[in-house]
Amino acid sequence: MPDFLQYMGNVFEPFNFLILLLGTAGGLILGALPGLSPTMAVALLIPFTFHMEPTGGLILLGSVYTATVAGGAVSAILLRIPGAPANIATTLDGHRMVQQGRAAQALQLSFLSSGVGGLLGVLVLIFFTPVLAQWALGFGPSHLFWMAVLGVTVIASLASDSVVKGLAAGCMGLWISSIGYDGVQGVHRFTFTSHLDGGIHIIAALVGLFAVPQVIDMLARAPGRSSAASVQRHSLWQALRQVAGKPRTLAIGSVVGVIVGLVPGAGGQIAGLVAYDQSRKFSRMRDNYGKGEPEGLIAAETANNAMVGPSLVPLLTLSIPGSPTAAVLLGGLLIHGIFPGPDLFTDYPDVSWTFIDALLVGQVLMVVLGLALCRLAAKVILLPENYLAAAVMVLAVFGTYSVQNSYSDVLIMAVLGGGMWFLEKYGFGAGPLVLGIVLGPIAEQNFVYGRTIATAGDGVLPYFFTGTLNVILIAIIVASIAGSVALEIRARRQREREAAS
Amino acid sequence: MKRIADVMSTSSGDVLAFVFALVAASASFAGDDPAAYAFPQLISALMLIFCGANLIRRSLARFAGEPVLTMQLAGKIAPGGAVIVVYVLFAEDVGFYLSAILAFFALSFLYGEHRRLSSIGIATGAVVGVLYLMFSVVLKVQVPREFFL
């Protein structure tokens, strides 16, 4: 009998199953709240697990991690505020569907595709752990640098009025990420005020850039209700058929999610974006992307959740966290005296396999509870916009403050939000800016490491621009930008033709 | 009511982005530690190129575009913007819960359809109550309290 089946019974022990149920339900709710990221939710729960048995503690952390990623889609769809960076791509078509009165359908598609991606991701974790970990370990600083650049360029071509505006916004984010203490060289950069000494925290940036412009827009529309009048019930059977009828989109989302999840340090934030971009390029409905196309939503959510399982592969086998949340999970393992590595499955087979089995069962629970929750969640937009705007604003302040107990974060959140609202009016997207801030430290760290290695070797240019993997990544970046420019030119010509006729 | 052309040009956002890029590049290239500033220099140079290209593209566009920030819009969001600014600036001194009550009540009242004080009061109490339960009871976050709780 395979190891993972041998320990499956442990998951259904009453206490473990109760923890799994509570973790999944709680994770969905926490994930749905703007500003409460999966990383933050898992980090906040670690002290709670300290007094539990290792198996129960890890089940709680794992189930919350899985469910918060899926739950983040709720606020991304209903409010256009991603619950986590991973849900940025979900906003593109998900919120459009809400504006078209298809909130229930968007939420159903989101949870169903999350379930498909999540199950596949955990199966990869179970069956391909040793093989894939070896492959991911082969990534060096130059590859990780290009992966970060790829993440920024992909969204730059999606979330702004034009590619050049998207790339400019992505650069703004990368530059903003360099504000504060530089951990590599040990100097303070661009700290014009003491509030910037600690740099720009990702949660402050995420909440500010996504929540504050949304609050101001809601106030501009008030009094009124967000597209509440057009919210209708949607058949679950129809949603199931719709998801099942998109095998290509599911395949693209799953493959992209698995690959991105396996790359240490890339994090999950680019999985949804890359999958969305690739799905659009291969789709016959590509012109509808960004206008409420279900395929875009399915691709993004499948990838987000397919990333979760594989992101734990390098963590469990090599102690290398594949994402920020995996890094927090590493802390959770260590406080229980469990040291991940190649010996984990021989030293602690019961704990490690029960944990992985719980992730598998958790995917099913996540879909069931998510579908039950989405009927309630869809009612969120029935709230009058003045209440919603006020609630989001006070929640943004509390959520931002609670990350580091820092009032500077609240001020940074508000300033970034105000500036973003203004820039958004002129066609600059928040997505590229946020992703620049998220991936900036990864890009810079690997740029610096790569430069150091290159200086001792053949030089900077050969190090970053030669080698099979470097060339493949650069080619994908160039192709992604060129493809988006071509699509933009085609769309502009079409608009001009329509205007002329 | 006059439209945006009176307040801002249709491309002031593009100009602002270019100015930001210019400031970022100046600050990056003024840094005295070449190793620490190499990455910001590379990024700010790229940002300057993209923002410059965007500005050129904008100035060459045949259609200037519709105004986006009208006097009407500015007038509509001004009271809410003022409440948010005051809330964010003074929440730490006044206390998070009291300032949340005041900000929630003010925003709900200013932008409400019917402005029923009782409904707004109930909504304010419910939202701040949930915040208290979540952050102070469950998550044990030590928020600035000052005059309240």
> For residue range A230-254, what is the model confidence (pLDDT) as tens digits?
446 678 788 888 888 889 999 999 9
A403-439 per-position pLDDT tens digit: 788 899 999 999 999 999 988 888 888 878 877 887 7
Identify the bridge partners of residue A180 per DSSP, sorted by sequence position.
A189
Do B16 and B56 reside in the same domain of the chain? yes
Question: How many angstroms away from the CA of A174 is the closest CA of chain B?
Answer: 7
Nearest-10 Cα torsion for A14, A19, A21, A24:
-160
Instruction: State the DSSP string of A397-454.
Output: HHHHHHHHT-HHHHHHHHHHHHHHHHHHHTT--HHHHHHHHHHHHHHHHHHHHHHHHH
pLDDT of residue B108: 92
Contacts of A126 (CB under 8 A, 6+ apart): A4, A356, A360
Is residue B105 in a domain? yes
CB pair distance less than 8 Å for B127 and A220: no
Residue B70 in domain: no
Say whether both B79 and B116 belong to one domain.
yes
pLDDT of residue B146: 65
Both B30 and B56 in one domain: the answer is yes
**Residue B143 counted as domain residue:** no
Is residue B40 situated within a structural domain? yes
Domain that holds residue B17: 4-60
Interface contact flag, A164 B50, Cβ < 8 Å:
yes
Q: Looking at the complex, report in whole angstroms how far the Cα of residue B94 sits from the nearest Cα belonging to chain A.
A: 13
Is B10 part of a structural domain of the chain? yes
- Residue in B closest to A45 by C-alpha: B139
Angle formed at CA A259 by CA A254 and CA A260, multiple of 5 degrees: 100
B85 lies in some domain? yes
pLDDT at residue A377, as a whole number: 63
Domain assignments of chain A as residue spans, ordered by start = 3-500
Of B24, B42, B112, the CB nearest to A386: B112
For the stretch A450-481, pLDDT in tens is 888 888 877 888 888 988 888 988 998 898 88
**Measured distance CA(A86)–CA(A104) in Å, rounded:** 21
Does residue B96 sit in the same domain as residue B132?
yes
The shortest CB-CB distance from A402 to any of B42, B85, B139 is to B139
pLDDT at residue A319, rounded to an integer: 62
Q: Does the beta-carbon distance from B77 to A222 stay under 8 Å?
A: no
What's residue A498's pLDDT? Answer: 78
- Please state, in angstroms and rounded to a whole number, the distance separating the CA atoms of residues A236 and B99: 43
Gap between the Cα atoms of A200 and A185, Å rounded:
18
Q: Are residues B99 and B132 in the same domain?
A: yes
Cα separation of A310 and A136, whole Å? 10
Mean pLDDT in residue range B122-132: 91
DSSP state of B97: H
User: What is the number of domains present in chain B?
Assistant: 2
In a domain, B66, yes or no: no
Query: What does the alpha-carbon distance between residue A194 and residue A348 come to, in Å, rounded to a whole number?
Result: 47
Domain membership flag for residue B23: yes
Substitution target in A45, A172, A439, A447 with the highest count of B β-carbons within 10 Å is A172
